[in-house]
Amino acid sequence: MDKNLALLTDFYELTMMNGYLQNGMADKIAVFDLFFRQGRESTFCIACGLEQAIDYVKNISFGNDEIEYLRSLGTFGEDFLQRLKNFKFSGSIKAIPEGTVVFPNEPLMVVKASVFEAQLLEAALLNIVNFQTLIATKSARVVRSARGRGVLEFGLRRAQAPDAATYGARAAIIGGCVATSNVLASQMFGTDPKGTHAHSWVMSFDNEISAFRAYAELYPTNCLLLIDTYDTLKSGLPNAIKVFKELRQRGYEPTGVRLDSGDLAYLTKETRKILDKEGFPNAKIFVSGDLDEYTIESLYVQGAQIDVYGVGTRLITSHSNPSLGGVYKIAEFDGKPKLKISDNAIKITNPGEKEIFRIYDGQTKMAVADLLCLKDEKIDFTKPLTITHPRDRWKKFTISNYFVKPLYAEVMKDGKDVYKRPSVQELQAYCTSSLNEFWSEYKRLDKPQVYKVDLSDKLYELKQELLAKGGKK
């Protein structure tokens, strides 16, 4: 990120920071957890946005323009403004790597720093991580529904502004899309942009076949024709086949055809029959047009003949679930665990600085549960492990043949960036690997099984103690 994002924050973050300073609290160490609550559609998410989050944190700098603007508000004294002028993050951050399958109430990032520094990060970190995690998750769901067929991200024109289009494309590729139509995103993240022509190309010529011939002349090695401008089966497909035969006479094979409208199940089945009959069994059928995981699932059930999906609006906006309920909550202050209490059980937080371990069945190598425990807690993973429901403690099972993996990686230490940045392609491969560690029951679209995320006995007891004392140690 090359823009100064120091003021990308909610105003109350600044008023709280000033309050900490005026009350002599600014240098006390706090631990904040960034996590999401229960999702609307999926029981899991794909962690994403960490690279941009770290870039934001390490580049925070209040220049003269920012300081003068804050001074003009008349809210803050010169001691606070001077502190901002000298601001540089000096704390530490650990995080779950991008591309990892994650679950509600698991901190994706843990920020440990002076409360003055840690408080400033809240709004921007949530903005960055919430959005990319949301889109990566949507992408993973769409890709899973495609059952091995390629999915292209086509959302640039429908995204909410350029950054959403660009970083949404990044998240979509991490979630499993094979490429994006967004040329800027392709340049930034090292992929090849995909796309051919629109209806306007066909409509700019006197007739459809002239448009197809002109396109085939220009791009003989990647001739993909959009055939639904006028009539898919009576005009578009017959004209495409004529051009494909001409192309073959020149020594080239067509890439395929694209449909963007109509009854895609029926049209693709008919198109496949005709392409095969006319001698083009290797020509691919691409489809687009307000697709999402539910539409793709339906097309599969109907036997649609589709090789590649172009998914735009409903992916880049996460249409059916347009926001992630990510929050940033204090878990420890000045060495003391902190707990937020609510009448709504889902909003009660988990106290203290924590670690997360993923538990795998030793025989199948599949993930069976995650375990949240306190940072300094010693757990003997050489003994049988009992997994307990985080709230209904009578629900439990014991596993003997298992192994564990810690989920956190250190990404900032004493203000220094220690994050090793994988390529987007490496993150996509890692995401695929992470998803493959979970049984399909947890990933189905309709009523997925809820994955077990346990609190260690020590963490559970601390939580109950703080609840009994009204949240105070």
Q: Per-residue pLDDT for the chain (473 aa), expressed as one digit of tens each?
A: 457 899 999 999 999 999 999 999 999 999 999 999 977 788 999 999 999 999 999 999 999 999 999 999 999 999 999 999 999 999 999 999 999 999 999 999 999 999 999 999 999 999 999 999 999 999 999 999 999 999 999 999 999 999 999 999 999 999 999 999 999 999 999 999 999 999 999 999 999 999 999 999 999 999 999 999 999 999 999 999 999 999 999 999 999 999 999 999 999 999 999 999 999 999 999 999 999 999 999 999 999 999 999 999 999 999 999 999 899 999 999 999 999 999 988 899 999 999 999 999 999 999 999 999 999 999 999 999 999 988 788 889 999 999 999 999 999 999 999 999 999 999 999 999 999 999 999 999 999 999 999 999 999 999 999 999 987 76
Model pLDDT, residue 391: 79
Question: Which DSSP string corresponds to 235-294?
Answer: IIHHHHHHHHHHHHHTT----EEEE-SS-HHHHHHHHHHHHHHTT-TT-EEEEESS--HH
Amino acid at site 339: L
Collapse the DSSP code of 213 into the 3-class scheme (helix H, G, I; strand E, B; otherwise coil) and give the result: helix
Flag whether the pTM goes above 0.85: yes
pLDDT tens per residue, range 215-250: 999 999 999 999 999 999 999 999 999 999 999 999
Inter-residue contact 182 to 165 (CB < 8 Å):
yes
Percent of the chain as helix, strand, coil, to the nearest 5: 40, 20, 40
- C-alpha–C-alpha distance, residues 320 and 314, integer Å: 7
Token pair 């920012």 in the structure block, residue: 66
* Number of other residues whose CB lies within 10 A of the CB of residue 438: 18
List of residues 6+ apart from 259 with CB closer than 8 A: 226, 227, 228, 232, 267, 268, 271, 285, 286, 287, 288, 289
* Contact criterion met (CB below 8 Å) for 326 and 130: yes
Cβ atoms within 10 A of the Cβ of 466, count?
23
